[in-house]
Structure 1
Amino acid sequence: MQFWDMDRKIGYARVSTVGQTLDLQIKSLKAAGCERIFKEKASGADAQRVELRRMLKSLKGGDTVVVTRIDRLARSTFDLFGIVREITEKKAQFYSLAEPWADTGTSTGRLMLAVLGGLADVERDLIRNRTAEGRARAIEQGRHMGRPRQITEAQRREIVIRRKEGERLKSIADAFGISDSTVSRIASGKDSYVPRKLADMV
């Protein structure tokens, strides 16, 4: 367990509903030596949580983000990998109290991150396939596809990745049922769409 030697321990505590309490998580994080704890009552499916974003923005090299359980950070493998990658890109580390193997300061933890990356790719492909299948069904049923639809945060990240990999605007637009200009705005970070569940799209 290497995270104790890092410069700062930053705790992140989350529950899904207002009626739930953060007390046990906060107690555990304080016992782990966390100097600052970001607290949130929000769904783990939302990767754009306010306190999560604040926590990530505050990170410096040598910090360690500590959670009581991995699912406090994210619900999906895709989002978990994205968040942990953001942490490590800032030269910080991630550690879960309930899952000691989830320690990016160790070789085992780094292997875990690599595995997460592979699983995230699988999840990304599943999202891509479901989106394409949903669009094909809609076209087959004669639905009007002209108006751009709101898409999920995971799909926005998928669009950014595919664009960075050099895929054409039209190809991406056709896959998600949106316009070329919408793809361009998303890829450049200028879109104003509000995320919603993937189930609404397929």
Structure 2
Amino acid sequence: MKIGYARVSTLDQNLDMQMDALQSAGCEQIFQEKMSGKKDDRPELQRCLDSLRKTDTLIVFKLDRLGRSTFKLLELTSELEKRGVEFVSIRDNIDTSTAVGKAMFRMMAVLAEMERDIIAERTQAGLQAARARGRVGGRPKTDKTKVATALALYDAGQMTVPEITQATGVSKPTLYRAIKARDNVSK
């Protein structure tokens, strides 16, 4: 079965061109979504993926409709391959049911892996250089006196949490972590 997935990023964009292309490609079922490709939680994409069975073909108009990052695309297509599902991108002329299509995707996987490795190497080199200069990574610690003041204000019950965070400069998550830590100690 040929199953299509169409996506646009904003509500004011139109799916018509993608829908026409997917119907012309013979899609028997098309899932459509109006949501940013940056989001990992796309309900219609998940429904589409859940509906795919062995020997099905997932068809998209363009690769970027499926995902923004090369890593995510390759992760997804690798999963499809394991499940016995073929993949077609109309605009990019990719069809994993052909030897050339599979080879192209494997080359993309190698390049994506190399890109990840280079990024990791650069990150490690940058961290080492920073440590050599005496810098320590991570977020700066919140002043303990500010946290104690925020806890006292919270316990007094005279101010709301937003008022406390504004008055003390202690973030809401930090305040709630401090409350939870204090409550766990007293148990």
Partner Cα distance (1:130, 1:53) in 2: 34
Q: Say which one has the larger Rg.
A: 2
Does residue 28 (structure 1) correspond to residue 21 (structure 2)? The answer is yes
Does residue 94 (structure 1) correspond to residue 87 (structure 2)? The answer is yes
Q: Aligned in 2, Cα 1:138/1:48: closer, same or farther, shift over 3 Å?
A: farther
Q: Which residue of 2 aligns with 1:132?
A: 124
Q: Aligned in 2, Cα 1:59/1:146: closer, same or farther, shift over 3 Å?
A: farther
Q: Alignment identity in percent? A: 43
Question: How far does the alpha carbon of each residue in 1:36-56 deviate from its partner, in whole angstroms, 9 at most, with x for none?
Answer: 111112222334422222211
Alignment RMSD: 2.4
Q: Aligned in 2, Cα 1:131/1:37: closer, same or farther, shift over 3 Å?
A: farther
- Secondary structure, in 3 states, of the residue corresponding to 1:20? coil
Amino acid at match of 2:117: D
Q: Which residue of 2 aligns with 1:119?
A: 111
Question: How far does the alpha carbon of each residue in 1:9-62 deviate from its partner, in whole angstroms, 9 at most, with x for none?
Answer: 100101111221111111211121111111112222334422222211221011
> Which residues of 2 match residues 71-86 of structure 1 at below 5 A?
71-86=64-79
Residues 78 and 119 in structure 1, CA contact (< 8 A), matched pair in contact too: no
Structure 2 unaligned residues grouped into runs of 5+: 142-187
Partner Cα distance (1:109, 1:88) in 2: 12
Does residue 16 (structure 1) correspond to residue 35 (structure 2)? The answer is no
Q: Which has the higher contact order (CA 8 A, sep 6+)?
A: 1
Structure 1 unaligned residues grouped into runs of 5+: 1-7, 148-202
- Secondary structure, in 3 states, of the residue corresponding to 1:57? helix
Partner Cα distance (2:128, 2:34) in 1: 37
> With structure 2 as the length reference, what TM-score do the two structures score?
0.65
